[in-house]
Amino acid sequence: MRTPLIVSVALHAILACFVVTLTVVEAPPQEATGVIVVNATPGRARRPLRLRRPSLTERKSPGVASLTRARPTAIEAPAAAAAQMSPVHVPRPRANVAAAYRNSDVPTARPVGPAVLDGAPEDNGLRSGGGPSETVRRVAEPTPRGRAGLAMSTQMASSASPDSPAQTAGLELKTPLDLIAENVLRSQPGSTPIDMVFLLDISQSMQDNIYAVARHLEGMATRFDAHDVDFQVGIVTFHHSTMHSILRNTINVTQLTDDVSKVRKKLRGVKCSGGEKALNAIMEAVHRVKFRDGASRRFVFVTDEYVDGDYPKREVSGALYRSRIHVDVIGMDEPFQRSLAAQSGGMWIPIASLTS
């Protein structure tokens, strides 16, 4: 009986000690339900951490590291003060152009750059020390165009002195035929008769140019009459089409006459059509025009096309040279037309100036 009793008492005693121990020992801490965001230093991407609350042991031991303690926020070092910068000399483009033009030793009749005026003060850019800007040559303002330019030209012409021959001569409007007449008068004695034949391209695009020749011919004759020059004029018209090539009448020659009004009337009646073969017309005129003995032989070649035809250009130039015919050209800017005028002492004038 005593043995079971002792065993029972011992078991109850052990059970009582176990219960007492459970009540004394602290329950384990619960997991944190919140999120604590820790400020990270700039430049490092970190995610917010889920941290647990500090345990009793951690709170009692201050020397133990804990992630729950607030870390000091990193203090950025103050940025270095910007370096003090002093103004530097930055010249403007206009000043550079003026200085380069001023220091150039190359003489030019027509400046490549803009015109300049001496002695005009102009700001030459930022300068350290705040000194005064140097004196440079000021770039002149460009001449206005359109109505403003026309008004300025008219005002300058009205204010010009009538005693100045250069200014007065500049106001005179000269046609291409006036320029040719002046060149003829300068290049030969006044007593030499002049036989002048107009070689006219009467293709479809030339109608306005033919009318312009008829208008300006009177002015040319007046210049020759003013110098008592014996002047005669003739016409050679040429164009090309299939039908006219079959009939062989693509080139018409009107012989020389001193009746300028008759020639002008004939020019006004010209009907332009088809294309042109200029080389054929020149060769035909060399052989068919009847010049006077002792007269200065001249052709005025008028076309708005590049030359074409059945004759080589060298052969045409040789025929003109052997016949001692001077050629003035109112035409296109091509080597052959320019050489026709240059080789015989004539003038080359762009066709656009005839109607402008």
Identify the weakest region by mean pLDDT among 6-20, 104-118, 188-202, 305-319.
Answer: 104-118
Buried (b) or exposed (e) across 84-112, using 16+ Cβ within 10 A?
eeeeeeeeeebbebbeebeeeeeeeeeee
Tokens of 326: 């001077």
Tokens of 97: 């152009």
The mean pLDDT value for 61-75 works out to 53
Tokens of 346: 């004539």
Q: Of 85-94, 111-120, 284-293, where does the model show the most confidence? A: 284-293
Residue identified by tokens 């190359």 is 106
Please, are residues 237 and 202 in contact by the beta-carbon 8 Å criterion?
yes
> At 137, is the pLDDT very low, low, confident or very high (cuts 50, 70, 90)?
very low
Res. 156: pLDDT tops 50: no
In 61-159, where does DSSP find H-type helix? 93-103, 146-159
Report strand pairing: 116-121 vs 135-139.
Answer: antiparallel
In the chain, where does DSSP find H-type helix? 2-24, 56-60, 93-103, 146-159, 165-170, 176-187, 207-226, 242-247, 260-268, 278-288, 313-322, 335-344
Identify the weakest region by mean pLDDT among 14-23, 48-57, 225-234, 292-301.
Answer: 48-57
pLDDT computed for residue 98 by the predictor:
44
Q: Give me Rg for the CA atoms of the chain.
A: 52
Q: How many CB atoms lie within 10 A of CB 344?
A: 19
Identify the weakest region by mean pLDDT among 74-88, 205-219, 268-282.
Answer: 74-88
Please, are residues 297 and 291 in contact by the beta-carbon 8 Å criterion?
yes
Q: What is the pTM of this model?
A: 0.51
pLDDT tens-digit series, residues 25-49 = 555 555 555 556 556 555 555 555 5
Res. 69: pLDDT tops 80: no
Gap between the Cα atoms of 180 and 224, Å rounded = 11
pLDDT tens-digit series, residues 272-289 = 766 668 898 899 899 999
Gap between the Cα atoms of 326 and 340, Å rounded = 8
Tokens of 230: 């014996």
Q: 306 or 156, which is more confident?
A: 306
Which residues partner with 136 through β-bridges? 120
> At 127, is the pLDDT very low, low, confident or very high (cuts 50, 70, 90)?
very low
Res. 292: pLDDT tops 90: yes
pLDDT computed for residue 204 by the predictor:
81
Alpha carbon 191 to its chain centroid, in Å, reads 51
> At 160, is the pLDDT very low, low, confident or very high (cuts 50, 70, 90)?
very low
The mean pLDDT value for 71-79 works out to 55
Q: Where are the domains of the chain?
A: 194-354
pLDDT computed for residue 166 by the predictor:
37
Gap between the Cα atoms of 104 and 92, Å rounded = 19
pLDDT computed for residue 145 by the predictor:
46
> At 52, is the pLDDT very low, low, confident or very high (cuts 50, 70, 90)?
low
Res. 306: pLDDT tops 60: yes
Rounded percentage of the chain residues whose pLDDT exceeds 70 = 53
Res. 300: pLDDT tops 90: yes
Using alpha carbons, select from 355, 291, 356, 337 the residue that is nearest to residue 347: 337
> At 5, is the pLDDT very low, low, confident or very high (cuts 50, 70, 90)?
confident
DSSP assigned state of 274: S
Q: CA angle, corner 209, sides to 206 and 212, nearest 5?
A: 155
pLDDT computed for residue 308 by the predictor:
86
DSSP assigned state of 180: H
pLDDT tens-digit series, residues 315-354 = 999 999 999 999 999 999 999 999 999 998 899 999 999 8
| Residues near 140 by beta carbon (within 8 Å), at least 6 away in sequence | 114, 115, 116, 117
Please, are residues 280 and 309 in contact by the beta-carbon 8 Å criterion?
yes
Q: 48 or 174, which is more confident?
A: 174
Burial of 319 (0-12, 13-18, 19+ CB in 10 A): middle
CATH fold of 194-354: Rossmann fold (3.40.50)
pLDDT computed for residue 202 by the predictor:
85
> At 258, is the pLDDT very low, low, confident or very high (cuts 50, 70, 90)?
confident
The mean pLDDT value for 165-190 works out to 74
pLDDT computed for residue 43 by the predictor:
54
Mean pLDDT score of the chain, rounded to an integer? Answer: 70
